[in-house]
Chain A
Amino acid sequence: MLANAKNWSNLPVSLASRNGLEFSSLSSTQLAAALAVIKASAGTGYSMEGYEKFQTIRAADDYLGTMQSGYGSGNYFIAFLGTPSATGNWMLQYGGHHYAANIMFNGGTMVSITPLHEGVEPHTGFTVNSVTYTNPLTNNVTGMQNMLGSLSSTELSTAKISGTFSDCLMIPGSTTNTMPTVKQGIQVSTLSATAQATVLAAMQPWINDVDSTQAATIRAVYKNELADTYVCYASNTSAVAGTPSSFLTAATDYVRIDGPSVWIELCCQNGIVIQNQIHYHTVMRDHSRDYLGL
């Protein structure tokens, strides 16, 4: 089952098959039922988060589909690994090109909400099928920008890692793909109270992508471990200390939050379908909870 669970990807569906049922193969009743499951899991408690974010990322694929074949909201999947029950251990997967949710339930409670992959192209808002959308990762990007913008130039130089990222480090798949045990960057406990608050705030747009009641335990863990959490970033060559909007603006601009449990990274990549502009990839993992119970 772990091998199946690791079958998630950030590649277009045509390049990397997913587990489960493809939306485009479902009847409208079936699709409504599948979306109802996802809505209950992803939650609707926060604006632009949870289910709304999932649906907007799907719409972004429809937008890409108007420019290049192979993309579309129908190329999304839902899968149940194990037998869904209120008592046992089972996993819910849903996603497609730029979304991959892997949620473990045990005894009717979410015990793991990672790995979680979210991405979007274009990097701006967009209009498709006569509906105009705000970029679905706006909160994620803004949260990270505010966090980096709250660091002094001295703190920024401590937080900086010298390499380059062309994508997130924790790309899907491969068993050799393990998180670094040595943390890089600046420790949150050394930051001002204001800056510490921005780190905690920056994590929320990912945690908020599952039902808030269910996510409460995990949210509390990440908050309790905040002092031992590290922030690092790479590239961001045009960034100005104290100016949040100057961060995460160009290809290879990268940021990471790495705690005892939490791992969140966001990378700006070159556009794939829309050349000459960036697009976002993000990965959330958990050092001890990924695929929990598998």
Chain B
Amino acid sequence: MYRISSYSSSSSSIFIRRLLFIASFVGAIFFVPLHAMAHQAPYTAVFLDVSPDRVGAEFQIPLTELELAFGHHITADPGTLLERLGPQLKAYLLLHTHTYKNKALPWAVNITNMVMSKEQQIASGPPFWELRVNVMLVPRQNEDTRRFMLAYDGVVHQVINHVIFVAVRNDWETGRSDSLTSRSDPMTIRIGSDNKVHPLEINIEKGNLWSGVKNMVGLGMEHIKTGTDHLLFLLVLLLPSTLVVKSKRWAEFGGVKYSLKRLLKIVTAFTVGHSLTLLLGATGVFVPPSQIIEVLIAVSILVSAIHALTPIFPGKEYYVSGGFGLIHGMAFASVLYNMQLYGKILILSILGFNIGIEMMQLFIVALVVPWLILLSRGKHYSIIRVTGAIVAIIASVAWIIERISGRPNVVSTNLQPIFDQGIWFIIGLACIAVISFLYQKRRRHAFI
């Protein structure tokens, strides 16, 4: 039930955001360099994932502060803490976590996961440990989750100067998503002017099912739009799709009908693949470690890029795109899984999210394919195909290294801003296509 986590890039970015936030809290900061993190972050962060029928909460509690309230010298050997004192910690947290609309009718509180998270400080000094706890808060029948009291006083019941920052990380109905940054104005739980700790009222604007599904569609679209790796995979896979193979090499344009048929099959196979794992992952049936998935996604780009250079699996693109679809789907699933959704809401979310992914994917295919068809008729298409494949190979290798080592490298950091301008790439492609089309037409006219 308990596991020691080795966190990947997503949680380290949370840590950086957190440090930024803490530093800015202390001083209304305009500029915070990220070096020299000599001081530990002594605050608790509580993130709320609000869905219509329940509220997921994630507590991130610094161990040095927790020790002052919980005792047991827990900072001495944090690595084995959950094996030794898991049940006691769970009991402690349950004692200090209550939610209700009506104090006499408290909500059900269940701890669903506890992990120890170790962040290496960049500056010298001891590693920074925190306990991360996922809690599920379930309202009474006929009660909604828009307005309730959060009576959580972990650590702060004992450590008088301790501060708990609370942010609504996900709100399913309205799409609200607060982060703990220098610009956010988070809610706090801390000692009041009467020297007592009071419950915090969470009061979120009303939304509805329809706006919730719409948000999920938007989230799906956003995920493809900003997910450079998914986009690059798709584009590289499409790059040779209009060509026929002759003597184990990419040869000439296979015709419009041939191209469209192949494109349709590739895109459909990818969709079937990622829909399947999205369903399995979001429902929690199969949740592989995110780091492995991220590495495999980069590998999928590398393989398709090599295939764009020289056909390594001609005629079997559907299996490959379907297979890699399975992997990309697992990454999509982690987005939903982390929102802690259940039942009807989860099904609606998977549906909406997948529709969003599909819409964005088709939009991009529609944006790129006409130019690919135009260009691949020409003799010089191989220049574009090979250039595109080489860029993708460089990027994917850089990502593989980054995702295995957990550290950004020169290539990956410099490529990102270029990829962020992806729309210019498509416009450029369109311009080249139109110019070369007109040029060829004129030459044909000249011969007549």
Contact = CB atoms under 8 A, between A and B. Distances in A.
Q: Name A's interface SS.
A: loop
A165 to B, nearest CB: 5
B36 A70 contact: yes
A178 B64 CA distance: 24
A120 to B, nearest CB: 15
A290 B143 CA distance: 45
B401 interface: no
B32 A16 contact: yes
B21 to A, nearest CB: 12
B36 A15 contact: yes
A273 B38 contact: yes
Contacts of B434: none
Contacts of B33: 14
A166 B35 contact: no
Contacts of A10: 26
Interface string B1-35: 00000000000000000010001011111111101
B421 interface: no
Interface string A268-286: 0010110100000000000
Interface in B88-131: 123-126
Nearest to B39: A11
Contacts of B194: 180-182
Contacts, number: 110
A11 B23 contact: yes
A169 B38 contact: no
Interface string B202-232: 0000000000000000000000000000000
A153 interface: no
A180 B193 CA distance: 4
Interface residues of B, number: 37
Nearest to A6: B28
B161 interface: yes
Contacts of B39: 11-12, 15, 272
B68 interface: yes
A276 B365 CA distance: 61
Interface string A175-199: 0101111101000000000000000
A161 B28 contact: no
Contact of B27 (A17, A179, A181, A273): A17
Give the size category of A's interface with B: 35 or more
B42 A167 contact: yes
A14 B36 contact: yes
Contacts of A168: 161
Contacts of B190: 176
Contacts of A288: none
Contacts of A179: 193
Contacts of B19: 15
Contact of A69 (B36, B65, B191): B36
Contact of B160 (A9, A16, A161, A275): A161
A9 B26 contact: yes
Contacts of B195: 180, 182, 184
B26 A272 contact: no
Contact of B28 (A3, A252, A267, A273): A3
A12 B35 CA distance: 11
Contact of B32 (A15, A184, A273): A15
B38 A15 contact: yes
Interface in A120-176: 161, 163-169, 171-174, 176
Contacts of B29: 7, 16-17
Given A164-B69, A166-B159, A178-B193, A171 B26 contact: yes
Contact of A68 (B38, B68, B188, B193): B38
A291 to B, nearest CB: 13
Contacts of A181: 193-194
B38 A70 contact: yes
Nearest to A13: B36
B37 interface: yes
A247 interface: no
Given A165-B159, A184-B195, A275 B27 contact: no
Contacts of A176: 188, 190
A165 B193 CA distance: 16
B123 A68 contact: yes
Contacts of B27: 6-9, 11, 16-18, 172-173
A48 interface: no
B23 A166 contact: no
A17 B30 contact: yes
A179 B190 CA distance: 12
A234 interface: yes
B28 A7 contact: yes
B162 interface: yes
Nearest to A9: B27
Nearest to A16: B27
Nearest 5 A/B pairs, CB to CB: A70-B36, A14-B36, A163-B160, A16-B27, A9-B27
10 contacts: A6-B27, A11-B23, A11-B27, A12-B38, A15-B36, A164-B68, A165-B161, A166-B64, A171-B161, A173-B28
Interface of B: 19, 23, 25-33, 35-39, 42, 64-65, 68-69, 123-126, 158-162, 188, 190-195
